[in-house]
Amino acid sequence: MVSYGYIRNMWYVAGFSSEFKPGQLQGHTFAGRPVVMWRTADGKVVAFDNRCAHKRMPLSEGRLLADGSLECAYHGLCFDDSGRCVAIPSQPDGPIPPQARLRAFPVIEQDDVVWIWTGDPAKAASVKPPRTPEFTDEAWESIGSEPMHVPANYLLLIENLLDITHFYPLHDGNIGDIENSRIPIELEEGEIDGNRYVKTIRKVQGYKQPPFLADWFMYDVVDREHTHCMVSPGLTRVEMRVAPPGRLGTEDDRGYVLYHTHTPVDETNHIWRWRVNCRRGHTCRSDPNKSAAKRVAETFPEVVAQDRWALERQQQMFVYPDEGYSELYLKPDKALRRARQIFAALERAERSPETVTAAAE
């Protein structure tokens, strides 16, 4: 049976920067870890174990005081933004035990994204969070979704994103058609900043675009280059470039860069965010006064809902024992299989840290 767990020694998206308002406590579960987060007075986002060091009370149920410390709602223990306990109301004159402190999680905020490392802090420096430069580049209009809870393992979403042969029949009539399933697939692999990636590349000429794509990018018949890259287990980057036949790579290029973030909650749940980026000045066909990015953001939720429907039903099938069942692999599934192999190698490395992860090579 395929293992669908989660990896802890990894950077995951805790949220877009705009989701962390000053003075607001947030409680989350990332990769099976209870986490409390907030943005401090000096603008830094911090993350700690969400259990008070005293009696396991979730600290996200507490409050931030005027001095910036976090007060537990149960017995009033206070913790500063380094996780150190600074006050115990029931022991006003006694020393504060040195073990009265919170476990911190490494956090990096970059490119309008807050990343959290959920595993061994000592390993965090060996891997860097992926970059998302379009989010803060003035040449791009960037629009993101709200976080979505999906009752399915996050690897199912990654596999969905790497395999667009499901555009027919799942997305037939909006972004898909049967011709899309017949586009040849190239595979690329490598490593960037400690993250193993796998990318699919699909090139087609004289392709008649489905309705949503014709609306978003203005053209009916195009040459197209379409890539899907699992940059890391926390992020997938999709890029589509289209132009009239023979004009790809010129000023007639249109398209988008679409990021999907997939953050595991546990074995059977994850949080999904997406963010579309289109060149400023590009408009859509249905409304010349509306930008392409805004039009994608309006209509793409229909596509997301179809994918979510499929993911949830896939996950439901895992409650049944295999009893002789095994998944059939097709030729277009090569990237999916490589993603599973990368996950398996990372999981083995976590179980046996001294093991060399050569299986991912």
- CATH code of residue 104: 2.102.10.10
Provide the pLDDT for residue 2: 55
Q: 220 with 322, same domain? A: yes
Task: Give me the domain span that covers residue 110.
Answer: 11-126
Q: Is residue 6 part of a domain?
A: no
- Choosing from 98, 126, 154, the residue where a domain stops is 126
Residues 6+ apart with CB under 8 A from 184: 202, 203
Residue 228: exposed, middle, or buried by beta-carbon count in 10 A (0-12, 13-18, 19+)?
buried
Provide the strand spans (E) within the chain. 11-16, 26-30, 33-39, 45-49, 63-64, 70-71, 78-79, 85-87, 107-110, 113-117, 140-144, 148-150, 186-192, 195-208, 221-232, 235-243, 254-266, 269-279
Residue 2 lies in a domain: no
Question: Do 288 and 155 have their domain in common?
Answer: yes
Q: How far apart are CA 358 and CA 342, in angstroms?
A: 10
**Domain check: are 215 and 179 in the same one?**
yes
What pLDDT shows up at residue 352?
Answer: 75
Q: Is residue 4 part of a domain?
A: no
Q: What is the pLDDT of residue 353?
A: 54
Q: Give the residue from 75, 106, 126 where a domain finishes.
A: 126
313 φ, ψ (degrees, to nearest 5)? -75, -35
The predicted structure's pLDDT at residue 7: 96
Say if CB 102 and CB 238 are below 8 A apart.
no
Q: Does residue 115 share a domain with residue 18?
A: yes
Residue 1 lies in a domain: no
Domain boundary among 95, 126, 157: 126
The number of domains in the chain is: 2
Helix (H, G, I), strand (E, B) or coil at 261: strand
Residue 103 lies inside a defined structural domain of this protein: yes
Asked if residue 3 belongs to a domain, the reply is no
Q: Looking at residue 339, what is its pLDDT?
A: 96
Question: Is residue 145 located within the same domain as residue 55?
Answer: no
Residues 302 and 189 in one domain: yes
In a domain, 182, yes or no: yes
150 and 268 belong to one structural domain: yes
**H runs (alpha helix) in 253-291:** none
Does residue 31 sit in the same domain as residue 154? no
List, for the chain, all residue ranges whose pLDDT scores fall below the cut of 50: 1, 355-361
Classify residue 140: in a domain, yes or no. Answer: yes
Sequence-distant (≥ 6) Cβ neighbours of residue 301 within 8 angstroms: 145
Whether 188 and 266 map to the same domain: the answer is yes
Residues 107 and 141 both lie in one domain: no
In a shared domain, residues 187 and 44: no
Cis amide prior to 169 (ω within 30 degrees):
yes
Note whether 314 and 349 are same-domain residues: yes
| CATH number of residue 327's parent domain | 3.90.380.10
